[in-house]
Structure 1
């Protein structure tokens, strides 16, 4: 066993990514060959119900690494389904390290493989997460939900906790396969599920600079993706021993905003704003009850003007509601307020430089930490629902209120 070749698995979770999966696979293969020329290298495509030729495109790409395809049915599955399939295959291969690359990224570089793999060397469990520069109109769920909430609960500032390009070693893989999996972890909640559980268990999390990230805009998913991310995050938070004080290391100044700025499709923004307005009209009383910090926010052309001063207190309201047993209402109503925060943020950053935007986001995260700590929120006394359901968003996000199949 001591003389066996090191096994490195690169997993590419995908659904209908035929246009980009080939380039991602080639970059992975080139990076593996450079970093581990004598190793046993495997590129795994994990897909669920692709209908656009994703599997065929992957099969046609010439790789020096061993190619493996694992598939699952499409209905009721998501990104997490594919990540868990990669983890299962990596465990079966007794992999020394596992890397994950999103299939829709257009800027994947072979150098990412070596950087991510080096960060997870060692016998103790470790998770590597990316640090990118992103279009200022993207990374909204990261900037306004995942990053500040993780900082507030765990005292650790992680710039890109749901970035997608992750890596971990065998020790982390073994531990992660024992963690409870909410339904949302099989969907877009998978990345925050990995990061939050690592922080919950005091596992070392390493940020790896990867330069620019260019991929398909996630904004059209803004009524679905954040709900799934919050669901997984809140499940992990409720299993945490309590709100932790900030760590001894001062948070690094972020450098997350890229010079390029591409606005979102106005038609999509308008459609999303209209859905959120209808949602808030339908749930106005409950939103006001659960989010007292949002009662005085002013109107805006898109709905509500939720400023950088308002938002940390609204996030604290959400954690207080979740800890008090109002899991699904807090999760779902927060999504509606979050969309208004995003649209307000876009107005706030108009005319600002990249560094100024980074500073604004850092201040927002720091204020969230202070707002949450000031509430005396007790964790561990409530639990989340066993099943994931769109619940309050049914009829507002074009999806029926159905649970994820077991």
Structure 2
């Protein structure tokens, strides 16, 4: 929303071939709109940064971001996102809504657990792509330096880590259903960017150990279609099956006395939350304290097979379970990584 109550609709597009830009221009609207064609390497963060800078030039007070793949956006979402900014002066508004248990794989297995472990604050949907940003945070994000991963699909990790790391005020907006286009071809890139950006945050910001805030228990799952194809997960898991693979040396170092458990999990194609978060915590602390010169992308590449195995395990566990049971399991594991991080730090 621009100053004076006027609105502006912005679509930032990295020369995609799905017709989004053309459909955007062809759709009649009462509000002025702008299509930004972004040059260079395609990336979600790159698109957001261009849109934010345009909005700052236009004198906005707040921005509502809506993912271009969304199929269930409702008009009332806009005021729901903006209300906490106008009424309470928060910098950021994150959604609460229900999603398919087969979506948000990087959020449950990496980002939500990491932010709670590192900052002691639970953001239920940290990678949603749907959120609102007020002017002070907008200026901060537009001015900061962005890594290649953050200019890609690590954008939301950078946003949420900035909010929590700087203790900025934020709020939640209760929405309803979040459903989007079911395209899995780029999921490995999303996971790699999120893992890379997470390592970068861990290096920049010390963990806040000690008492943590409550875990969010708002309903977050709807039971819909069956599990999608898993070939993209199986292909990455296969990278860790060879005992001579370079990542196995990393796993032995990070897992320590639990390495046999990791080996058994790879063999059985089933990795529980405790083992995954134990290894993930040790990897992050190593990247921060003992090997700060190793590229974050290398950590992401090494972690990716076990991340994929954890996602596959979650999908298997979701089959035949109610939405309430899936939500309870997801909430229960939020604190597991924080406990693992505290143990690793000790």
TM-score w.r.t. the length of structure 2 is 0.90
Higher RCO, Cα 8 Å, sep 6+? 2
In the TM superposition, residue 141 of structure 1 has moved relative to its aligned partner by: 0.6
Match of 1:255 in 2: 219
1:40-189 to structure 2, matched below 5 A, reads 40-73=6-39, 75-121=40-86, 126-189=91-154
Q: 1:297 and 1:374 mapped to 2: Cα distance?
A: 18
In the TM superposition, residue 40 of structure 1 has moved relative to its aligned partner by: 1.0
In the TM superposition, residue 202 of structure 1 has moved relative to its aligned partner by: 0.4
Answer yes or no: is 1:364 the counterpart of 2:333. yes
Q: 2:273 and 2:198 mapped to 1: Cα distance?
A: 22
Q: 1:308 and 1:86 mapped to 2: Cα distance?
A: 37
Match of 1:319 in 2: 284
207, 216, 221: which one pairs with 2:181? 216
SS in 2 for 1:211: strand
Answer yes or no: is 1:272 the counterpart of 2:233. yes
Q: Which runs of 5+ in 2 are unaligned?
A: none
Is the contact between residue 43 and residue 152 of structure 2 (CA under 8 Å) also seen in structure 1?
yes
Is the contact between residue 308 and residue 345 of structure 1 (CA under 8 Å) also seen in structure 2?
no
How large is the Cα RMSD of the aligned pairs? 2.3
296, 299, 311: which one pairs with 1:342? 311
SS in 2 for 1:98: strand
Q: 1:298 and 1:103 mapped to 2: Cα distance?
A: 40
Higher strand share: 1
Larger mean Cα displacement after TM superposition, 105-114 or 294-303: 294-303
Is the contact between residue 120 and residue 127 of structure 1 (CA under 8 Å) also seen in structure 2?
yes
SS in 1 for 2:196: helix
Match of 1:7 in 2: 2
Deviation string, structure 1 residues 179-230 (Cα, Å, up to 9, x no partner): 2211111110111110111100001222212211111235332321111012
Is the contact between residue 61 and residue 134 of structure 2 (CA under 8 Å) also seen in structure 1?
yes
Match of 2:155 in 1: 190
Higher helix share: 2
Change (3 A) 1:139 1:90: same
In the TM superposition, residue 276 of structure 1 has moved relative to its aligned partner by: 2.7
307, 318, 328: which one pairs with 2:272? 307
TM-score w.r.t. the length of structure 1 is 0.77
